[in-house]
Chains A and B, each alone.
Chain A
């Protein structure tokens, strides 16, 4: 069974203090790893897709990286508006009744203080 574990559960940073969020996964053949941001009372907002080990993607202060066992979301010089829950999800290869299924981690709650 596919599994995703995110750490830490919660992270408090001062504005400008860079850090990383971790997503460890086990999956029977990775089709894609997805990062989402979720604000209170809102649905998850898509950030990145990573497909293979060694791949990196960037967007503003965020950079996502992927290895064969984990993914990191690096946040450089964060601002208070980066405060949110960050979710990681994996999609396994294979078809049939699991095609398209995302397995999510429990998320990391990021708080950035001014």
Chain B
């Protein structure tokens, strides 16, 4: 039983295209996150949603648009892909109540821009 699942696992596309990454969690958590891990392996938060409401919105180009249809799903849509968008994108989830609950991560989507 996968707790946090992302699709697709690999995404290879050309510059200028629009693509989406989907994330689903079956942990019953109410908060979900998107992180970007660059080539130097730094994990950096992009967005978080709590019960479908945007909470964290870091300095991310507005070509990136998260959407949360319900608290178990958080998708990431990227418009006009650029070379610098190549990275691994991780989805995570946690229970929001006290704010210090551990976040559980999916296995990532490796995005490669040609």
Within 8 A of A (CB), among B57-114: 57, 90, 92, 94, 96, 99-100, 102-108
Contact in complex: B45, A43 (CB < 8 Å) = no
Tell whether, in the assembled complex, residue B94 and residue A100 are in contact, meaning their CB atoms are under 8 Å apart.
yes
Please tell me which one of the listed residues B41, B56, B105 contacts residue A100 in the complex, with CB atoms under 8 A apart: B56
Interchain CB contact (< 8 A) of B43 among A31, A44, A98, A100 = A44
Nearest chain B residue, comparing its CB with the CB of A85? B41
Residues of B within 8 A of A41 (CB): 107-108
Q: Is A22 an interface residue (CB 8 A)?
A: no
26 contacts between A and B (CB under 8 A): A31-B100, A34-B102, A42-B108, A43-B90, A43-B92, A43-B106, A43-B107, A43-B108, A46-B102, A49-B100, A87-B43, A89-B43, A91-B100, A95-B99, A97-B56, A98-B56, A99-B55, A100-B31, A101-B45, A101-B56, A102-B43, A104-B43, A104-B44, A106-B40, A106-B42, A107-B41
Interface residues of A (CB under 8 A from B): 31-32, 34, 36, 41-46, 49, 51, 85, 87, 89, 91, 95, 97-104, 106-107
Is B21 located at the chain interface by the 8 A CB criterion?
no
Q: Which residues of A contact B57 (CB under 8 A)?
A: 97
Closest Cβ–Cβ distance, residue A78 to chain B (whole Å):
21
Alpha-carbon gap, A46 to B4, bound state (A): 13
Determine the residue in chain B with the shortest Cβ distance to A94: B99
Q: Is the CB of A46 within 8 A of B99?
A: no
Of B45, B50, B96, B105, which contacts A44 at CB under 8 A?
B105
Given pairs A44-B105, A99-B55, A100-B99, 9 additional interface contacts (CB within 8 A): A34-B103, A51-B100, A85-B41, A99-B96, A100-B31, A100-B55, A103-B45, A106-B40, A106-B42
